[in-house]
Amino acid sequence: MDWHIHGQEWAVKLLKSHAGGDKLRHAYLFTGPEGVGRQTLAVRFAQALNCTTPPEPGGFCGVCRDCRQIEALSHPDLSLLQPEEGHKDILIDQVRALQHTLALSPYAGAYRMALLPDFHRATTQAANALLKTLEEPPDRVILLLTAIAPESLLPTIVSRCEVIRLRPASLGSAQDYLRETQGLSADMARLLAHVSGGRIGAARRLAEDPDALASRQEQLETLLDLLPATRNERFTQAERIAKTSDKARQNTSQVLRTWLSFWRDVFLRASGGPSALINIDIEQEIDRIAGQVSPEQARNLVLVHEQALEQLDAYANVRLLLETVMLQWPRLPMDIT
C-alpha cells in the first residue's frame, strides 16, 4: 500500500529499509513544521512494523487487523502519549506510566510501540524520565517521537534517536499534487500551496474544511479593517476575539498565526525579499501596506506576533495580549492618494 506521504519519498524509502531489514532502531524522531506529515509517517512506519500480510519487505497492506487498528490509534500494543486534558505539557507521571506499559511483552503485534507526538511539549522532568527507556530500551519496543525541530528537545534525547528531518514540498509540487489528488482548480491549488507553505497535510485539511478558509479570510479582513482604526476600535475587536469560551485561546492562536503570515508577507515586499508570498489572494493589499512601512517596521511586527504566540500558552489574559499586539500596529489610511 502507498504510504501517501507526498514530498517525503526519501524518508519512506529509508523507513521501508529499516522495517524490512536489519537496520531497525529502537527510537525514531520525526521533525518538521506542523502539517508536514510527521505523525502520518510515524503511523505508517508502525503499520509496516506490525502488518501481518505485508505485500513487500518493509511495506504494509493497510487492511489487516493490525494495520487498521494502528491507523485508528487503537492497537493494543500502541501507546499514545499526549498532554492530559487541562494540561499543555506532557508530565513526568505520564512518562512513568508509559514505561510500565512498555515493560510488558507485545500482546498482539510484533512490537510494542509508543507514539509521542509533539514531544517538545514535555516538561524537562518528563524528558529526562524518558531517557532511561532510550538508554536501556526493552526488547521489541519502538519509540516514535515527533517535534518541530531537534533543537526543541534535549540533546540527550535527540542523540538516542534516528532523526528523520521532514521539509515542506516545493510550492509547484504541492500545487500539482493538490490539483491531481484533491480535484481542486488550479487557482485554489495554488492558493492552498502558498497558504500552507508546501505542507501537504495542512493544505489537505484546508481543502477539506471550507470553514477554515472562510475563517482565514475573515481574520485577514479584520486586520486590514483595523489598520486605519482608532485604539478603542482595535480594543473592541480584541475583546470579541478573546471572548470567554473553551476555545478562546485556540482561536486566538489561529488569528495570531494568520496575522503573522500577513506581516511576514509585508516584510518580504518592503525589503525586496525573493521568497514567495503566503497570502497571494491579497497581494495587492500587501503591496499597498508594504509601500507605507519600512522594512524595519515590518520586521518588528513579525517579531511582535512571533513573541505573542510564544506567550499565549502562559498568558492569563488573552485580551490584554491581543491589545498589546494591536498597539504595535501602525495606523494607516485605507487608500494611498
Phi, psi of 90 (to 5 degrees): -85, 130
The pLDDT confidence band at residue 314, using thresholds 50, 70 and 90, is confident
Rounded percentage of the chain residues whose pLDDT exceeds 90: 81
What are the extents of the domains in the chain? 9-165, 171-208, 210-328
What are the pLDDT digits (tens) for 116-161?
999 999 999 999 999 999 999 899 999 999 999 999 999 999 999 9
Residue 260: which of 217, 303, 228 has the closest Cα? 303
Q: Is the pTM of this model over 0.95?
A: no
As a whole number of angstroms, the distance between CA 189 and CA 186 comes to: 5
What are the pLDDT digits (tens) for 33-61?
999 999 999 999 999 999 999 999 999 99
- Determine the average pLDDT of the residues in 255-267: 97
Centroid of chain to Cα 260: 15
Taking 90 as the threshold, does the pLDDT of residue 76 lie above it? yes
Fold observed for domain 210-328: Zinc Finger, Delta Prime; domain 3 (1.20.272)
- Take residue 265 and report the three cell numbers written for it: 508577507
227-239 exposure pattern, b = at least 16 Cβ within 10 A, e = fewer:
bebeeeebbebbe
pLDDT for 336 equals 47
Taking 60 as the threshold, does the pLDDT of residue 245 lie above it? no
Helices 248-271 & 295-312, crossing angle to 10 degrees? 160
Instruction: Return the CATH class of domain 9-165.
Output: alpha beta
The pLDDT confidence band at residue 246, using thresholds 50, 70 and 90, is low
Taking 70 as the threshold, does the pLDDT of residue 268 lie above it? yes
Whether the CA torsion 236, 251, 179, 31 is positive or negative: it is positive
